[in-house]
Amino acid sequence: MIEYPKGLWYTILVVCYLQNRTACAGGKESIMALFVPDIMITSVTDITADFLRSYGIKGLVLDVDNTLTTHGNPTPAPGVLEWLDGMKQAGFQLTIVSNNTHQRVEPFANMLGLSFISMGCKPLTFGMTKACKRFGCRPKEIAVVGDQIFTDILGGNLKGMLTILVTPLAPEHGRFFQLKRRLEGPFIRKYQKRKGGS
Residue ranges in contact with Mg ion by CB under 5 A: 63, 65-66, 147
By three-state DSSP, how is residue 66 classified? coil
Give the burial class of 65: count Cβ atoms within 10 A of its Cβ; 0-12 exposed, 13-18 middle, 19 or more buried: buried
CB of 66 to Mg ion, least distance (A): 4
What are residue 87's DSSP bridge partners? Answer: none
**Smaller CB separation from Mg ion, 22 or 71:** 71
197 dihedral zone (left: phi>0; alpha: psi -120 to 50; beta): left
By three-state DSSP, how is residue 134 classified? helix
CB of 146 to Mg ion, least distance (A): 5
Nearest to 147 by CA among 14, 32, 37: 37
CB of 40 to Mg ion, least distance (A): 15
Length of the chain (residues): 198
**Smaller CB separation from Mg ion, 65 or 184:** 65
Determine the Cα–Cα distance for residues 125 and 127; give it in Å rounded to an integer. Answer: 5
CB of 75 to Mg ion, least distance (A): 16
CB of 197 to Mg ion, least distance (A): 30
Determine the Cα–Cα distance for residues 56 and 50; give it in Å rounded to an integer. Answer: 10
The single-letter code of the amino acid at 159 is K
